[in-house]
Amino acid sequence: MDISAWLRGLGLERYEQAFRENAIDEAILPKLTAEDLRDLGVTAVGHRRILLDAIAALRAETFRDTTEHSVEPDRSGATRGRRHTMFEDSDVNYTRHIRGAVNAVIASVTGDTMCYVSAGAEHQGPPSGGVVAVLARVG
C-alpha cells in the first residue's frame, strides 16, 4: 500500500513527510489512534477525524478480505491467528452464551479477538450488578 497516495486521496498530503519520518507503513496504519495522530502532528480535529474514519474503513476492508478466504482448516495442522478461550466452563449455562456473544460483538467492533469478557459476580462491581461486565480501552 502506498501511504503517500492514500494520504493524497484523502486530501491530507501535508502529513506525508510525518508519516514517512515515523515509519508508518501498511502494518502500522490500521493500528494508529487519535493520540498517535496527534504525536504525528495532526493537530486539526477535522483532519484526525478524516484519518480515523479512513483507518476504520481500512480495518473493515481487511476484515472483509480475510472473511472471504476459505474456512477450511490448515492442512499443516498449524493454528492461524489468535484464539479465544473462555474459562470457567464447569457448567453450561446462560452466562457462557452471553460471554460468547459479547466477545463476538467486541471482536467485530475492535477487529481484535484478544479480549476478556467476564460473567462472574467477582468482576461485576456493585452488588446486584448486571450479568456481564466489559472492560475496554478505546482510542
Domains along the chain?
Answer: 3-67 (1.10.150.50), 94-134 (no CATH)
Q: Check residue 6 and give its pLDDT.
A: 92
Cβ pair 118, 99 in contact under 8 A: yes
Is this structure's pTM higher than 0.85?
no
Q: Check residue 101 and give its pLDDT.
A: 78
Give the CA-trace dihedral at 64, 116, 134, 52, to 10 degrees: -40
Positions in the chain whose pLDDT score sits under 70: 62-96, 113-139
Cβ neighbors of 34 (< 8 A, separation 6 or more) are 48, 52, 139
Q: Check residue 85 and give its pLDDT.
A: 52
